[in-house]
Amino acid sequence: MVSLIENIDTSNVDDADDSDAPIEVTTKTSKDEKKKKKKTNKTKRRIQYTLATEQDDHPNKKRIDEESALTHLVFGDDDDYLEEITSKAVTHKKTDTIKTDSVTVESKKPAWIDTEEVTEEIVREPNFNQICPRKRQKITTGEYEKKLKFEYERVMGRPAWAEKLLNKTNEEEDSDEELFRRTGNYLTKSSVLRAGTIDCLRCADFKHDVAHSKLLRSVEFHPSARILLTAGRSQYLNLYQVDGKKNERIQSLFFERFSIDTTHFTQDGNQVIVTGDRNFFKVYDMIEGKIMQIPMMRGFEERLGKFELSPDGSLIVFINRNGQLHFVSAKSKELIDTTQISGNINSITFRHDSELMFVAGDEGIVTVFDVRRRAAIHRFVDDGSFSTTSMCVSPNQQYFITGQKSGIVNVYSYDDVLKSGEPKPIKYLKNLTTPIQNVKINSSSELLAINSYHLSRAIRLVHMPTLTVYENFPEFHDKKIQIVNTLDFSPNSGFLTMGNNNGKVLLYRLKHYTNY
């Protein structure tokens, strides 16, 4: 039998018998430890590990003992290794329980990673195999972190808080975290028109012939169909298909020796009323495709010029420069009544329920008429005006707008003009300096268009909720606008059109409004 002895410092142990002649193997110790051993009279306990030989009765058992002894010398006892791992696990779990919230927050994925800004450091690869060390390579910090995470989970297992994060469904995630994990347009189109700049697109111009290249006096959208009507001094009345791309002409009508001044669709859109420099007017029936000439009355020698249709489609009111208003039935086309006011009449407009009519002239006084009785019920002074050239009432009956010969546009509160004889405007728009030709408000009462025919590109769009003018309209490089003489909004404000002094009809798509 061959014995293997390891010397271990102990106390209260007797010396072993020297007759066995064991082989002593002592572990290396530091100088300080040797001095302590010399000072203390400690005995050595001999632990004998017997090695198997051919003479032993149980060679397999002895061989196992031999392997255990070598393992103990190289790695130490198994209990020590397990105790060390267990103690590390307990301390790690304690720190995890204390810092669970912070770890959970830090473990969330970033919204995005900018490769240009993130720079990873180069570090040496960790060596977890201490028995067979190998050459350590240089890796990035990201790879280094993955290796540490993998080794930790291999030894310790995955923590419970990590499992919860991995198994978390999309419904349980925070709305803010989910919101910022992808890019795109999260905002829906607002139902309120934005101030500052208006989002509009210049569409293809309406096609016209050289013979039509004269001053346009009237442009108007059909109340229901995608059709535009244009007319002017060329004696032509044109109907166009409004699609924003080709805008092809549908029909062209020539009125011989009849210079067209004003045209309007009837409320149902089946007829077009046309006036010129004559003492009669004409009606184009779009269903039957024929033109009818309607005389006013016997002995009527005055020329008919501007006129307005009531919103309910029951009346046609013709304006005479000498202060007369002629009321004609829209159904029978017969003259009903004539009313006289002092001074010349420049403009008339209706309230949207057709119960009240507003009349303005050169004296800067606005007269309010009761349409049913055809009598004046109220008058007020247009502030700062010596001649009011155009007017309109907002569909929501919040604003009353007047345009003056001086180029100033007054915006009143509608209630104020009916209560006071000298109402004060809530806003003076002084963006134009020449006489105002048209003031037109859209169907939602959010957008106001004003223009003057004395200067090129003298047209502005006004944001009514804030009463500010849009900065980007008209665009500086848009030279085709020239002198605008007439304009109109489509029924749902999806398009804006304008006619200039050269017979061209321009079309703009207002992107905020989705419908025609």
pLDDT at 157: 78
Where is average pLDDT lowest: 1-10, 54-63, 187-196, 290-299? 1-10
**Following DSSP, what letter does each residue of 64-126 receive, concatenated?**
HHHHHHHHHHHH--HHHHHHHHHHHHHHHHHHHHHSHHHHHHHTSPPS---TTT--PPEEEPP
d(CA 274, CA 255): 10
User: pLDDT above 90 covers what percent of the chain?
Assistant: 46
What's the whole-number mean pLDDT along residues 489-509?
92
Q: What is the 3-state secondary structure (H, E, C) of 121-179?
A: CEEECCCCCCCCCCCCCEEEHHHHHHHHHHHHHHHHCCCHHHHHHHCCCHHHCCHHHHH
Query: Does the pLDDT value for residue 477 go beyond 90?
Result: no
Structure confidence at residue 205 as a pLDDT band (50, 70, 90): confident
Q: Where are the beta strands (DSSP E) in 233-323?
A: 236-241, 249-254, 260-265, 271-276, 280-285, 290-295, 307-309, 315-319
Where is average pLDDT lowest: 69-73, 388-392, 496-500? 69-73
Query: Does the pLDDT value for residue 88 go beyond 60?
Result: no
Strand partners, 276: 260
Structure confidence at residue 97 as a pLDDT band (50, 70, 90): very low
What's the whole-number mean pLDDT along residues 58-68?
63
pLDDT at 61: 57
pLDDT at 17: 43
Q: What is the 3-state secondary structure (H, E, C) of 166-199?
A: HCCCHHHCCHHHHHCCCCCCCCCCCCCCCCCCCC
d(CA 271, CA 279): 20
What's the whole-number mean pLDDT along residues 292-296?
89
pLDDT at 449: 97
Peptide bond into 435 cis (omega under 30): no
**pLDDT per residue as tens digits for the range 370-379:** 999 989 999 9
What's the whole-number mean pLDDT along residues 346-351?
94
d(CA 431, CA 383): 17
Distinct helix (H) and strand (E) counts, the chain: 8, 33
Side chain identity at residue 271, one-letter code: Q
**Total residue length of the chain:** 516
Domains annotated for the chain, with CATH where assigned, are 213-433 (2.130.10.10)
Residue 154 CB contacts under 8 Å (≥ 6 apart), including other chains:
none
Between residues 109 and 5, the one the model is more confident about? 109
What's the whole-number mean pLDDT along residues 398-414?
96
Query: Does the pLDDT value for residue 416 go beyond 80?
Result: yes
d(CA 395, CA 442): 8
Structure confidence at residue 71 as a pLDDT band (50, 70, 90): low
d(CA 75, CA 219): 99
Strand partners, 219: 230
Structure confidence at residue 108 as a pLDDT band (50, 70, 90): low
Structure confidence at residue 96 as a pLDDT band (50, 70, 90): very low
Query: Does the pLDDT value for residue 285 go beyond 90?
Result: yes
Query: Does the pLDDT value for residue 513 go beyond 90?
Result: yes
Residue 249 CA: distances (Å) to CA of 44, 217, 270, 354: 118, 18, 18, 33
Residue 321 near residue 307, CB atoms below 8 Å:
no
> And the tokens for 7?
């010397």
pLDDT at 192: 84
pLDDT at 414: 96
d(CA 516, CA 513): 8
Where is average pLDDT lowest: 187-191, 426-430, 488-492? 187-191
Which residue bears the tokens 């590990």? 49
pLDDT at 160: 77
Query: Does the pLDDT value for residue 57 go beyond 60?
Result: no
pLDDT at 134: 57
